[in-house]
């Protein structure tokens, strides 16, 4: 079985395993106690904090260990907003942030705060000028991920951090996906990360709050971890997290070159091997091991199951893999195709032979899924010169499949109305038009759903 979902959780690094087992014997006592066992535990905790701080590029007393990366984000956002409540109640986030950031923003808005969501381009990147324009006199905090978890696009963090510094606004960086590859550049103010993303154990997060940043811990304050993370420290996991971060950093430069070559191979060859595929994400400014593509006329859930049967563990942002039947907020913000979406994220050490095997299996797998989905015949009628495709009650990718079947039945310049009540159609039909050089005219509300208008250009 080839595990190609390291962006969700990387396999446990051998150094993390060794450190975890060793610290189970040496680090079980309370590091706050003064007896021998407590002092030994304190030494392990201090050494782990020093190693993690060195990797992050911060002071030791600026770094807090939390119970997860999500907890680090929630604590960081809430504490920074509370600490700057006299400045204002305005928060800035990007449209492609991790759900932990977006959920924090939703809670803030529900409590009466103001939130500005900065849009991204089709590669998933924000414009520095957009963040600069979003900053207001009452802006308390800005958030920006270092790299996207679904498409791998790296964000201009250093430039945005400089804009925020000049405006006197702290920037919180979600560095979960990138910290294993290197320190985050720029004058950022807060940083959050998660150990299981770089090969450490789950249940350990990092929160860094730079000196001088106004920060007010929310909720009951505990005496541990500077009051920012309540409860007894999971010392064995913390030691393993710090040890593995140091280890992956030592390997990062060489491994990044190797994984970039493998993902570039996937980016280049998938469109050659499989027709009607859109490779998404920035082709240059991206994480070394992540590549994402979407396949027209494919049910994402079925495709993932078939790839799993073929021996490959991958993930997807397709609405077809979600109980909500709505596409990933990242793909939606980018305006790219969501149906048949596949994210391949290679863990360190992935053999080139496994990538080649994936490329050999993928074409027949996609073709088989498309064949299964090709059976439904489109229901079409003529309505005042326009061809109407009734795809009501049919989920992705059926509306796009039925549109593709009839586009050749109308003359150039004529319009097709696709009726659909699937939210994914709002994203996938315009994306199909761009891929197939047809004109997406817009949408109109109908009694049972939405009519999407497409004009044939060729």
27 touches 239 (CB < 8 A)? yes
C-beta neighbour count of 188 within 10 angstroms = 27
Q: Is 320 a catalytic residue?
A: yes
The Cα 287–Cα 154 span in angstroms is 7
Nearest CA to 375 out of 398, 354, 395 is that of: 398
Three-state secondary-structure class, residue 142: strand
Label the pairing between strands 114-118 and 90-94: parallel
Degrees, nearest 5: CA angle 387-391-392: 125
C-beta neighbour count of 431 within 10 angstroms = 23
Collect all residues with Cβ–Cβ distance below 8 Å to 141 and sequence separation of at least 6: 77, 80, 81, 84, 91, 92, 169, 170, 171, 172
| Alpha helices by DSSP H, 148-234 | 157-167
Long-range contacts of 429-437 (CB under 8 A, 24+ apart): 429/399, 429/400, 429/403, 429/454, 430/335, 431/278, 431/294, 431/335, 431/336, 431/337, 431/338, 432/296, 432/337, 432/400, 432/403, 432/404, 435/276, 435/278, 435/296, 435/337, 436/404, 436/407
C-beta neighbour count of 265 within 10 angstroms = 15
Query: Does residue 325 have a cis bond before it (omega within 30 degrees)?
Result: no
**Which of 164, 320, 396, 433 does the annotation list as catalytic?**
320
Helix axes 352-373, 235-273, angle to 10 degrees: 60
Helix axes 99-110, 69-83, angle to 10 degrees: 40
- Residues labelled as active-site residues: 320
């Amino acid at each position: 079985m080839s595990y190609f979902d390291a962006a969700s959780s990387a396999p446990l690094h051998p150094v993390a395993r060794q450190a975890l087992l060793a610290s189970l014997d040496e680090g079980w006592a309370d590091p706050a106690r003064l007896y021998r066992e407590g002092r030994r535990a304190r030494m392990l905790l201090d050494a782990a904090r020093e190693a993690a701080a060195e990797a992050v590029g911060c002071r030791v007393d600026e770094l807090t260990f939390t119970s997860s990366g999500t907890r680090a984000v929630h604590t960081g956002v809430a504490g920074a907003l509370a600490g700057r409540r006299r400045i204002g109640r305005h928060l800035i986030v990007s449209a492609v942030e991790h759900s932990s950031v977006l959920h924090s923003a939703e809670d803030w808005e529900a409590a009466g705060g103001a939130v500005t969501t900065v849009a991204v381009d089709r590669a998933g990147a924000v414009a520095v000028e957009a963040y600069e324009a979003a900053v207001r006199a009452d802006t308390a905090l800005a958030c920006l991920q270092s790299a996207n978890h679904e498409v791998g696009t790296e964000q201009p963090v250093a430039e945005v951090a400089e804009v925020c510094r000049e405006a006197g606004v702290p920037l919180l960086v979600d560095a979960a996906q990138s910290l294993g590859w290197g320190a985050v550049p720029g004058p950022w103010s807060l940083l959050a990360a998660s150990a299981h993303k770089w090969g450490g154990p789950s249940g350990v997060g990092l929160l860094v709050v730079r000196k001088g940043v106004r920060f007010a811990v929310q909720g009951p304050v505990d005496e541990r971890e500077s009051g920012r993370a309540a409860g007894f420290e999971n010392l064995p996991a913390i030691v393993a997290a710090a040890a593995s971060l140091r280890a992956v950093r030592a390997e990062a430069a060489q491994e990044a070159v190797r994984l970039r070559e493998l993902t570039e191979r996937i980016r280049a060859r998938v469109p050659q091997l499989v027709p009607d595929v859109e490779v998404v994400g920035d082709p240059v400014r991206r994480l070394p091991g992540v590549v994402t593509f979407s396949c027209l006329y494919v049910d994402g859930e079925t495709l993932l199951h078939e790839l799993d049967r073929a021996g490959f563990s991958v993930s997807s942002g397709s609405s077809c893999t979600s109980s909500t039947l709505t596409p990933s907020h990242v793909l939606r913000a980018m305006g790219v195709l969501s149906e048949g979406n596949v994210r391949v994220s290679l863990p360190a050490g992935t053999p080139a032979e496994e990538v080649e095997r994936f490329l050999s299996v993928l074409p027949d797998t996609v073709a088989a899924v498309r064949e299964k989905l090709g059976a439904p015949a489109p229901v079409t009628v003529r309505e005042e010169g326009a061809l109407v495709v009734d795809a009501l009650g049919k989920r992705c990718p059926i509306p796009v499949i039925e549109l593709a079947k009839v586009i050749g039945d109308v003359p150039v310049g004529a319009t097709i109305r696709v009726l659909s009540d699937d939210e994914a159609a709002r994203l996938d039909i315009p994306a199909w038009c761009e891929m197939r050089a047809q004109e997406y005219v817009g949408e109109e509300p109908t009694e049972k759903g939405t009519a999407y208008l497409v004009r044939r250009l060729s």
